[in-house]
Amino acid sequence: MDPLTHALSGALFVRAAASFQTHPGKAVLPLRLQVITGSAAAAFPDADLVLRLIDTLTYLSWHQGPTHSVILLPLWTCLLARLFSWLSDERYPWRSFVLPAGLGIAAHIAGDLVTSYGLMLFAPFSSERFSLPLVFVIDPWFSSIIIAGLVVSWCYPQNRIPAIVALLVLCGYVIFLSALHQQAAAIANRYVETQSISRVQISILPQPLSPFHWKIIIRDRETYHLADIDLWQSTDERQADVPTWLPFRMAAAYRPVAENNWQIRHQFGNDPARAALIREAWLSSAFASFRAFSRLPLLENVDSTEQGWCAWFYDLRFKFPELPPSFRYGACRHDNRADWIMVRQPGVFYID
């Protein structure tokens, strides 16, 4: 989820649970401080961005790691609560910040859990990643529901009902996306049956611009069957001429299910003459960190020049229509005697 939506979701969670009571002899955080604490705490887990100072692949490998762990959530909550208490000149005891801080972090974890990347929920005891890929990382509908709940709550500062209703609507929207996910999964399963594919790994990933856009990836050993589908549009509703503006071109790439828009890609390409060398590059020790990060790796292209030879790979999770893939890495060497090295190729986004 994008950082702004995370911060707003923390504010909404806290707003729905905010305490308005005053207790004699007990300092209760003002509503404004509760909301600010929840918002700041919801932004905290993405502090792992500092790993970019090491290198991009280290960040990618550990992003949504320990700072997104439910095991470590109490630790982060207590640390943030003490920090916020100190920033308030200890006018309020640190325990007053525990609930909004904990809710903010929990809101962040819940938001990232329904995206495709995957969270290390049980770090540091396990590095296994968990995800329910239902929401694209930037979803205007998801964010708008949160904003609407906060705006109405601001108009009624002593009433938690608007925030609670917004959370219920948000849950309803996620359930709606889950139904779309199941619909896309049914399409994938039908394709597997008709093609008589025996050993498969099926990935259904939400896509940008519309909740009806989905990417289906069916992996059969080293072969991928891919489809970018639009569950809303029918073939008859498609425009003959696609506008030149990039978002419209991207949206047009998601085709109606009836068009049977499947593509086949091979993990190591289609050139038998280079297959052995590409596999050697992929399996080289220098490329180990990218192999560990990439769940759905695919060869993009091979560069062969006087300066050397490179096999460039990317992860299908981060490839969207009309855009170059993000997080592209190459296994390169200058000649047949040289050692393999890993090289990063920048993408279109700053984090690439």
AA identity, residue 129 = R
pLDDT digits (tens, 9 = 90+) for 155-164: 988 889 999 9
The span from the CA of 224 to the CA of 105, in Å, is 37
The answer on 21 and 70 residing in a single domain is yes
DSSP assignment of 5-38: HHHHHHHHHHHHH-----BTTB----HHHHHHHH
Q: Are 314 and 298 in contact (CB under 8 A)?
A: yes
Q: Tell me, what's the pLDDT at 198?
A: 81
Residue 25: pLDDT over 60: no
Among the candidates 238, 266, 294, a domain finishes at 266
So what's the pLDDT on residue 47? 93
Question: Using an 8 Å Cβ cutoff, are 133 and 116 in contact?
Answer: yes
pLDDT score for 157: 85
Residues 9 and 115 in one domain: yes
| Residue 216 resides in a domain | yes
Name the pLDDT band for 181 (thresholds 50, 70, 90).
Answer: very high
- Do 33 and 82 sit in the same domain of this protein? yes
CB within 8 Å of 240: residues ≥ 6 apart: none
Residue 60 falls inside a structural domain: yes
Q: 290 with 248, same domain?
A: no
- Looking at 224, 241, 266, the residue that finishes a domain is 266
Of the three residues 94, 120, 146, the one that is the final residue of a domain is 120
Domains of the chain: total: 3
Q: Determine the pLDDT at residue 20.
A: 57
Mean pLDDT of the chain: 90
Q: Are residues 255 and 336 in the same domain?
A: no
Grade residue 239 by pLDDT with cuts at 50, 70 and 90.
low
Are 293 and 211 found together in one domain? no
Question: Do 87 and 41 share a structural domain?
Answer: yes
Structure tokens at 133: 């890929």
Q: Which domain holds residue 207?
A: 178-266
Weakest mean pLDDT among 14-28, 115-129, 259-273, 320-334: 14-28
Same domain? For 13 and 64 the reply is yes
- Same domain, yes or no, for 7 and 85? yes
Q: pLDDT tens across 71-91, in order?
A: 999 999 999 999 999 998 878
Does 166 map to a domain?
no
Same domain, 262 and 298: no
Query: Rounded to whole angstroms, how far apart are CA atoms 48 and 21?
Result: 36
Dump pLDDT digits (tens) for 306-350: 668 999 999 999 999 999 998 899 999 988 888 999 998 876 665
Q: What pLDDT score does 200 carry?
A: 84
So what's the pLDDT on residue 46?
94
